[in-house]
Amino acid sequence: MLTTTKTKKAKALTCDVCGESGAQLRYVTRSYGKGANLLIIENVPIVVCPHCGESYLTAETLHEIERIKNFKLQTSNLKSPTSDL
C-alpha cells in the first residue's frame, strides 16, 4: 500500500485575473487559423478559474504555440514554389 506522506495536491494555481487561488489546469484542443492554414493543437494546457470563470493560456503555453505556428509556417512554405534565390 502506498504511503501518502505530504502528497502533492492537484496543482492549485493562482488566477492571474482575480488573484484567487484554486485555479486549475485543464487540457483542451485549440484550433488556429482556417482553411489550408488551419492548425489544431491537442492537449493545450489552460488555466481555468472557478472564482471568476476565466480561462486563459499561460505565457509559457503561448510561447510554445507560437513556436508550433512558426514551425508549421516553415513546413507549409516548403510546398509553395517561391524561390528567392
Position among 13, 17, 25, 68 found at the interface with Zn ion (CB under 5 A): 17
Those residues whose C-beta lies under 8 Å from the C-beta of residue 37, and which sit 6 or more positions away, are 76
How far apart CA 48 and CA 7 sit, in angstroms, is: 22
Counting contacts by CB under 5 A, is residue 12 touching Zn ion?
A: no
Ranges within 20-79 binding Zn ion (CB under 5 A): 49, 51-52
Closest approach of Cβ 11 to Zn ion, in Å?
15
Stretch in the footprint of Zn ion (CB under 5 A) among 18-26, 35-43, 58-66, 72-80 = 18-26
Q: Computed over its alpha carbons, how large is the radius of gyration of the chain?
A: 19
d(CA 36, CA 28): 22
Residues that bind Zn ion (CB under 5 A): 15, 17-18, 49, 51-52
